Amino acid sequence: MTGYASEPVPTVQFGGREDVLDLGWGHPHPAALPVRQWAEAGRAAMDRYGPAALTYGHSAGPGPLIEWLRHRLGQCDALIPRPDQVFVTAGASHGLDLVSALLCRPGDTVLVDSPTYHLALRVLADREVGLRAAPVDGEGIDPDATGDLIGRVHREGGRVPMVYLVPTFNNPSGRSLSAARRAALVAVARRAGTVLVEDDTYRELAYDGPAPPSLFSLDDSGPVARIGSFAKTVAPGLRLGWVTGSAELVRALRLRGSVDSGGGVNHTTALAMAEFARAGGYERHLSGIRDRYRAQRDALIGAVRRELPDVGYDPPAGGWFLWLCLPQPRGGTALLPHAEAHGMSYLPGTPFFVTGAGHRFLRLSFSLFGPELLAEAVRRLAAAYRSDAFQRDPAAGPDG
């Protein structure tokens, strides 16, 4: 074999820049990735299942992983799905791609929360739908106003097949929707005949007590399709996740041509995950990374409190992100080049809105770096914020 000497295509997504602490990436800390344990899990799957681990799999995903997922969801959520309500995906993005492909036709209107996961907007844009912001207020998505908006679209002859949101430890805001709003939103979806596509990627990264019950747990009969993932809990490179939804939805996913032809979408990896999870392996690993990410969250919040006392935020009870709001009239978009000149980076707020809003915000990820580097990144951010160059930058004005 030849060719390793020159590698014109990189190996990984992360393009780390020398001398820049980039808090823009929602990527795991390298030490949180279970390198040794995953090698063991792969070997164990080969030992246990033999050739069955390598041949075409069941279209919904292999039974052993589905059984374990049901068990686990009974621990970290309020409802154990039935076996025919679970579909194993090739990651949350693939789950959203599949579910939205089933639900949407070109020209439909899809409502999205604000702010929300920016790359989900890209997945939905591939459906050639019109993206509109669901109404929000200070507590997040507003169920009654969302129902009214769906009604208006219907009266204009449009379809609203789905509403996308991350109601638990939202990316980017870190916030969770209240129990009352969850119940009201599910009722609105049921009445309107729309599907809440609940991105539940961060449920297991709960640092201050259990995550709230999922929207899916409030009604498993059709109005909610919940997307889960092993990307944050085990490893993103595995491309493994799941969907829980009505049996009808799962049946339709199984019948997609590519799913049926391929024998499921990630069979061998799914069986390795069943081995990784066996005998408490998943819970032990999760406990360790929860402690790590909690410490990183606390370090980031502590540094922001010290270094940027006039910047607003809600301390996130889970997930990977701290969402900062700069004091008027300064904004995260305008600050970015100054921050990079000071050796740190982040994502500005605008990609997380379909409305063009978000200029005052910035998203800091506390997943990739340990406490000391996070504190150093905030020192650099604060220096950029206080710098004459930023304070005098005309782009940093009211619309900056």
Q: Could you say which residues in the range 91-120 bind its own copies, by CB under 8 A? A: 91-94, 96-97, 101, 105-106, 119-120
Can you read off the two tokens belonging to residue 165? Answer: 């949101």
Closest CB to its own copies among residues 84, 393: 84
Q: Tell me, rounded to whole angstroms, the distance of Cα 112 from its chain centroid.
A: 14
Can you read off the two tokens belonging to residue 316? Answer: 């996130």
Q: Tell me, rounded to whole angstroms, the distance of Cα 347 from its chain centroid.
A: 15
Stretch that binds its own copies, among 80-88, 161-169, 297-305, 384-392 (CB under 8 A): 80-88
Stretch that binds its own copies, among 68-76, 133-141, 161-169, 335-343 (CB under 8 A): 68-76
- Asked whether position 123 contacts its own copies by CB under 8 A, the answer is yes
Shortest separation between residue 95's beta carbon and its own copies, angstroms: 9
Shortest separation between residue 38's beta carbon and its own copies, angstroms: 6
Shortest separation between residue 257's beta carbon and its own copies, angstroms: 3
Pick from 12, 19, 309, 356: which binds its own copies (CB under 8 A)? Answer: 12
Closest CB to its own copies among residues 256, 294: 256
Helix, strand or coil, per DSSP, at residue 351: helix
Q: Sheet containing 321-325: which strands, arranged edge to edge?
A: 321-325, 361-365, 347-348
Closest Cα partner for 224 from 183, 282, 169, 273?
Answer: 183
Closest CB to its own copies among residues 301, 347: 347
Closest CB to its own copies among residues 43, 152: 43
Pick from 16, 17, 126, 288: which binds its own copies (CB under 8 A)? Answer: 126
Shortest separation between residue 176's beta carbon and its own copies, angstroms: 22
- Asked whether position 278 contacts its own copies by CB under 8 A, the answer is yes
- Asked whether position 125 contacts its own copies by CB under 8 A, the answer is yes
Helix, strand or coil, per DSSP, at residue 248: helix
For residues 229 to 258, the per-residue mask of contacts with its own copies, x marking binding by CB under 8 A and - elsewhere, is ------xxxxx----------------xxx
Closest Cα partner for 358 from 391, 333, 335, 330?
Answer: 333
The DSSP bridge partners found for residue 165 are 198
Q: From CA 323, how far away is CA 351, in angstroms rounded?
A: 13
Pick from 140, 147, 167, 264: which binds its own copies (CB under 8 A)? Answer: 264
Closest Cα partner for 226 from 69, 367, 57?
Answer: 69
Helix, strand or coil, per DSSP, at residue 303: helix
- DSSP state letter for 53: G
- Asked whether position 268 contacts its own copies by CB under 8 A, the answer is yes
Q: Phi and psi for 131 in degrees, rounded to 5?
A: -90, 130
Closest CB to its own copies among residues 121, 183: 121
- Asked whether position 52 contacts its own copies by CB under 8 A, the answer is yes
DSSP letters for 156-177: TT----EEEE--SS-TTT----
* CA-to-CA separations, 38 to 9, 60, 68, 197, 278, in angstroms, rounded: 25, 23, 17, 30, 12
* CA pseudo-torsion sign 49, 54, 55, 58: positive
Cβ-based neighbour number of residue 399 at 10 Å: 10
- Asked whether position 191 contacts its own copies by CB under 8 A, the answer is no
For residues 14 to 43, the per-residue mask of contacts with its own copies, x marking binding by CB under 8 A and - elsewhere, is x------------xx-xx-xxxx-xx--xx
Closest CB to its own copies among residues 126, 208: 126
Closest Cα partner for 346 from 293, 304, 399, 397?
Answer: 304
Closest CB to its own copies among residues 2, 328: 2
Shortest separation between residue 81's beta carbon and its own copies, angstroms: 12
Pick from 24, 64, 332, 351: which binds its own copies (CB under 8 A)? Answer: 64
Shortest separation between residue 208's beta carbon and its own copies, angstroms: 26
Closest CB to its own copies among residues 27, 297: 27
- Asked whether position 262 contacts its own copies by CB under 8 A, the answer is yes
